[in-house]
Amino acid sequence: MSDPHFAAGAAYVKDRFVPIAEATIPVTDWGFTRSDVVYDVVHVWKGAFFRLEDHLDRFERSMAMRRLKIAEDRGRIADVLHRCVGLADLTDAFVAMVATRGRPRVFGSRRPADCENYLIAYAVPWIDVIPKDVQARGAHLWIASTPRVPDSSVDPTIKNYQWSDLTSGILEAHEEGFDTSVNCDAEGYVAEGPGFNIFVVKDGAVKTPDRGSLGGITRKTVLEICDSLGIPAAIAPVTRAALEDADEVFITSTAGGVMPVSRVMTRIMGNDRPGPLSMTIYDTYWQWHDDPRYRTPVRT
């Protein structure tokens, strides 16, 4: 029997499993006051994690790059994630792992090394970056006026909570009646959007930006799908002009998978619906969720 206390989701904070509503951190935690935190998100689909090992790899790399050391090793992190999903009794879930700097052991210290780092994890019902009905007609994409923070200032390959520039973009998008936004860098090259990578399709070839972007696991999957289907694909510079002139556009995220775009600013692509190549990749992506190479069944 499932526990009704965990119906909305389950979390792990400092060695304790609690209902998601009871998962809290101190207001003086540097993860909150300084955004000094890294995280990763993996999804569960039909009772199995998709590419869990890839997400754990990236999480461990992010922690190492930010010099964060939690008590739990890789095996224990995986156990915690399984337990959160199990407690919430979820078949399809959004599952997060977070390493926060914590608070200094020495009051008033300004030294990151004096902080007690710790793990937070949680599982909640499935989340889509783009709602399902919007995916069906194709998202309407706004190009933000705020440039993406430079890679030399904040490494985008370390998954982090620095979203100020991304949030500015999505505020603009919603004010203009668009579904979501994408940021370019200061030189006019496309980077990424709030929680997703972006792909452009031109003359049957697929491209995704080589800068200002997280190395997304869904992005990686799409590139592998393209290789398997013989579709030319590359990680390469993408100009704003190339985005606006694309034959098709789609975005990718753990929270939603492959999500087609039908409009970029004032330009309507195709018949104002998801493009054929985007849908081929979409269909293959979900088929791959049944591949045992990528499935890790949730332990109950």
- Last residue of one domain, picked from the residues 102, 125, 148: 125
Q: Are 173 and 130 in contact (CB under 8 A)?
A: no
- Shared domain for 88 and 119, answered yes or no, is yes
pLDDT at 1 exceeding the cut of 60: no
- Shared domain for 102 and 77, answered yes or no, is yes
pLDDT tens by residue, 195-234: 999 999 999 999 999 999 999 999 999 999 999 999 999 9
- Shared domain for 100 and 163, answered yes or no, is no
- Last residue of one domain, picked from the residues 71, 96, 125: 125
- Shared domain for 227 and 261, answered yes or no, is yes
Residue 299 lies in a domain: no
**Residue 185 belongs to domain spanning:** 132-289
- Last residue of one domain, picked from the residues 65, 93, 125: 125
Residue 296 lies in a domain: no
- Shared domain for 82 and 170, answered yes or no, is no
Among 122, 39, 37, residue whose Cα is nearest residue 88: 122
Report pLDDT for 36.
97
- Shared domain for 169 and 244, answered yes or no, is yes
- State whether the Cα torsion 233-63-74-97 is positive or negative: negative
Residues 6+ apart with CB under 8 A from 209: 189, 190, 191, 192, 197, 198, 235, 236, 237, 238
Report pLDDT for 4.
84
pLDDT tens by residue, 84-126: 999 999 999 999 999 999 999 999 999 999 999 999 999 999 9
Confidence class for position 3, pLDDT limits 50, 70, 90: confident
pLDDT tens by residue, 150-198: 999 999 999 999 999 999 999 999 999 999 999 999 999 999 999 999 9
Neighbours of 81 (CB within 10 A): 27
Average pLDDT, the chain: 97
Residue 27 lies in a domain: yes
- Shared domain for 104 and 154, answered yes or no, is no
The domain that holds 91 is classified in CATH as: 3.30.470.10
pTM as predicted: 0.95
Residue 181 lies in a domain: yes
- Shared domain for 73 and 136, answered yes or no, is no
Residue 276 lies in a domain: yes
- Shared domain for 74 and 164, answered yes or no, is no
Average the pLDDT over 6-16 and give the result. Answer: 95
Residue 172 lies in a domain: yes
Overall domain count for the chain: 2
Residue 15 lies in a domain: yes
Report pLDDT for 2.
65
Report pLDDT for 138.
97
- Shared domain for 80 and 192, answered yes or no, is no
Average the pLDDT over 244-252 and give the result. Answer: 98
Residue 298 lies in a domain: no
What gap in Å lies between CA 64 and CA 167, rounded to an integer?
Answer: 26
- Shared domain for 95 and 146, answered yes or no, is no
- Shared domain for 153 and 284, answered yes or no, is yes
The domain that holds 199 is classified in CATH as: 3.20.10.10
DSSP-based three-state secondary structure for 222: helix
Task: Give me 184's structure tokens.
Answer: 């370019």
